[in-house]
Structure 1
Amino acid sequence: MTTLARLNALPKAEIHVHLEGTFAPETLAAWAAQAKVDLPRPVERLFEFAGLANFLQFLDFASGLANTPERLAQLAREFCERLARDGTGYADLIFNPTHWHAWHGQLPAMLDALDAGFREAEQDGLPPVGLCVSLLRTQTEGEAVELVELLTRLRHPRVVALSVDGNEAAAGRTGPRFASAFAQAKAAGLRRTVHAGESSGPEGVRDAVELLQADRIDHGGRAIEDAAVVDLLVQRQIPLGICPTSNVVLKVYPDLDAHPLERLRQAGIPVSLATDDPSLLGATLPGEYARAQQHYGWNDAVLRAVARTSIEASFANADVKADLLARLARW
């Protein structure tokens, strides 16, 4: 069995992946043609980005084309098919309502449309998915509280967590602004996952833990720049959902030599691997494991430990976790 096939067979979860980053270029081209909208670039170069800001602008464009319940259900179904191809047994899927212009003010309908696609996929034996509804960093404290209050009223069974994402460098420090909303989310039984340590430094990671009560951190790599923040993550065993391909493509780090993944792992922080925006960045989950294995010399014990972290740090229900962990023990 090839290395990639073995890693495809490795039981694992994905805990840092965005719905906005799963569009197929052919799907976007078809939808744009139907809407008589020009693509920002030719389809063969559609996913070429100048950097993080340009990438985030593209997310708004792509999401704006998904303007019917059928298209959202299609995206949900195609995401579950992607999980199955990658040998992924469960995913916490982040989506940010602010990107989906056609659905502004219609979050319940959007959740129902996605849920319909996920339910159909799961009935066909494809992997289950939980939704992490995300704030954008540029939103106000009031908007954040309003979202949490809506999620609390809905109690939608597909929603497992509150998230916050977006360009930390452009938005500035946002931990204090969103602390109230995250506290309310915790009180309502929602889990918390926070983008930090990507375009912000280690102070963003500290805020995520201390102000936003994060169960886990999306990215988190720049924690390595502050030994005290590394110690905080180790002491509290806060897992990181690290996306090496994303970080290199979007120029957070120049290459894997500069990436702190292995230093964070060896420091004792629970790390998992994820694709972030797989279609847009050309990433697969087995490919992330293969790159790390090759570059850092990971043996099977390390691969199994990283996969275990992905499962244990996920917001899957107890039965799904138990099944994946049992399969992992046999891998």
Structure 2
Amino acid sequence: MSIESAAPAITPELARALPKAEVHLHLEGCFDLADLMLLARRNGATLPGPAASLFDLSTHTVELDPTSAAVTGMGVGRFLAFLDWEGSLVEDYETLRTLAYRACARESASGVRYADIIVNPTHWSPWGHRLEEFLRAICEGFDTAAGDGLCQAQLCVSLLRQQDTDSALEVVDTMVRSRLPRVVALSVDGDESQAGDSNSRLAPAFDRARAEGLRRTVHTGESSGPDSVWAAIDLLHADRIDHGVRAIEDPRLVDTLVARGIGLGICPRSNVAGTHLYGSLAEHPIDRLRRAGVTVSINTDDPGPMGVRIEDEYADCAQTFGWDLATVAEVATASVRASFAPADLAAGILADIATFADALDPDSHPVSAQY
């Protein structure tokens, strides 16, 4: 009598082996604790909190930006201020290039084949008037990593919500002028509660980026509601929304995301343990959005301070929502389709996802590998 093999359990080990992309990852969030300790020692910088719990902002006794009301309490503003402190430690070209390389190595260790990595220059104060050199150092790190067979990465340059129109346009002008092949998209992030009507203010920069062939991705729909996602689509011409989970509150918006193929770069643990938008993973709408037909991907946002790896996020979602191998392969496929990866690279990863799923479970029926 033959015994049919059971479908494979979605463990972190399986999720690590699954080919995939990551589309919502901040370079500022890729510092390890050792990175920060060594950089702080080298620069003679004062730590904002105890060394052993540096990523726990509740232990910080040093105000990182006393002029900002946003950092006086916990929340997004205080976290952004911590990123400012991190970036202030990186003063030279080689250190920045190495950090970019290490981000690609981190991705490869989790089975990520391609990553859209976001960087916000406003967090890196030593580079304030050297934006082109700043971008070039990061891209060189990506180039070296690719040459060593690590994860392929491209760069999404992010504006800060509080930036004015002219400075935002200057960023886009530098992106266009530098002509760095790995600089592929304009982004925007930051604390929406402190930014006012940032979409109207930043729309000219996104218009210019669109005219120059740059892709657009917008952080929204987390601390703000569905209206902000509509604005990202209508005013900023977003190709992708980073977070965007509160779109679930507006059925018409969900239908629009499906119809236009606008993906959501979702970071489950960040929404639960970071911003406490949801009380538990079981309350998170990622599965409802997926079942509604939205292109949802799983991402880590700021893996260093969050203490998260993408394979754990896949496994946790699978356990919480009852995802089988076919569903996990579907989400991995969505991550590639939502990415800004070159078409030939994307097609190769999609084919590998289908092959991987079929080898483990021929009955899994993974989605089409065509790109």
Q: TM-score range by the shorter chain?
A: over 0.9
Aligned residue among 20, 32, 37 for 1:12: 20
Distance in structure 1 (CA, Å) of the matches to 2:177 and 2:140: 20
Q: Mapping of 1:29-178 within 5 angstroms?
A: 29-49=37-57, 50-178=74-202
Deviation by residue 1:230-259 (Cα, 9 ceiling, x = unmatched): 222122121000000111122122211221
TM-score by length of 1: 0.97
Distance in structure 1 (CA, Å) of the matches to 2:196 and 2:314: 32
Unaligned runs of 5+ in 1: none
Which residue of structure 2 lines up, in the alignment, with residue 28 of structure 1?
A: 36
Amino acid corresponding to residue 15 of structure 2 in structure 1:
L
CA contact (8 A) 1:26 1:43 kept: no
Distance in structure 1 (CA, Å) of the matches to 2:176 and 2:75: 35
Distance in structure 1 (CA, Å) of the matches to 2:108 and 2:143: 15
Deviation by residue 1:26-75 (Cα, 9 ceiling, x = unmatched): 11111111211111111211111343222111000001101111110110
1:102 CA drift (Å): 0.3
Q: Mapping of 1:251-330 within 5 angstroms?
A: 251-330=276-355
1:321 CA drift (Å): 0.6
Deviation by residue 1:50-105 (Cα, 9 ceiling, x = unmatched): 43222111000001101111110110111111011100001000000111000001
Decide which structure has the larger Cα Rg and report it.
2
1:173 CA drift (Å): 3.1
Distance in structure 2 (CA, Å) of the matches to 1:144 and 1:69: 23
Distance in structure 2 (CA, Å) of the matches to 1:209 and 1:116: 32
1:18 CA drift (Å): 0.1
TM-score by length of 2: 0.87
Distance in structure 2 (CA, Å) of the matches to 1:57 and 1:254: 25
Distance in structure 1 (CA, Å) of the matches to 2:92 and 2:49: 24
Amino acid corresponding to residue 40 of structure 2 in structure 1:
A
Aligned residue among 229, 232, 244 for 1:205: 229
Deviation by residue 1:184-215 (Cα, 9 ceiling, x = unmatched): 10110100000010111111111111111100
The root-mean-square deviation of aligned C-alpha atoms, in Å, is: 1.2
CA contact (8 A) 2:120 2:158 kept: yes
Unaligned runs of 5+ in 2: 1-7, 58-73, 357-371
Amino acid corresponding to residue 171 of structure 1 in structure 2:
A
Q: Is the partner of 1:283 in helix, strand or coil?
A: coil
Distance in structure 2 (CA, Å) of the matches to 1:142 and 1:173: 15
Structure 1 outlier segments of 4+, above 4 Å: none
Amino acid corresponding to residue 16 of structure 1 in structure 2:
H
1:172 CA drift (Å): 2.8
Distance in structure 2 (CA, Å) of the matches to 1:88 and 1:54: 30
Distance in structure 1 (CA, Å) of the matches to 2:295 and 2:143: 31
CA contact (8 A) 1:168 1:198 kept: no
Distance in structure 2 (CA, Å) of the matches to 1:153 and 1:217: 26
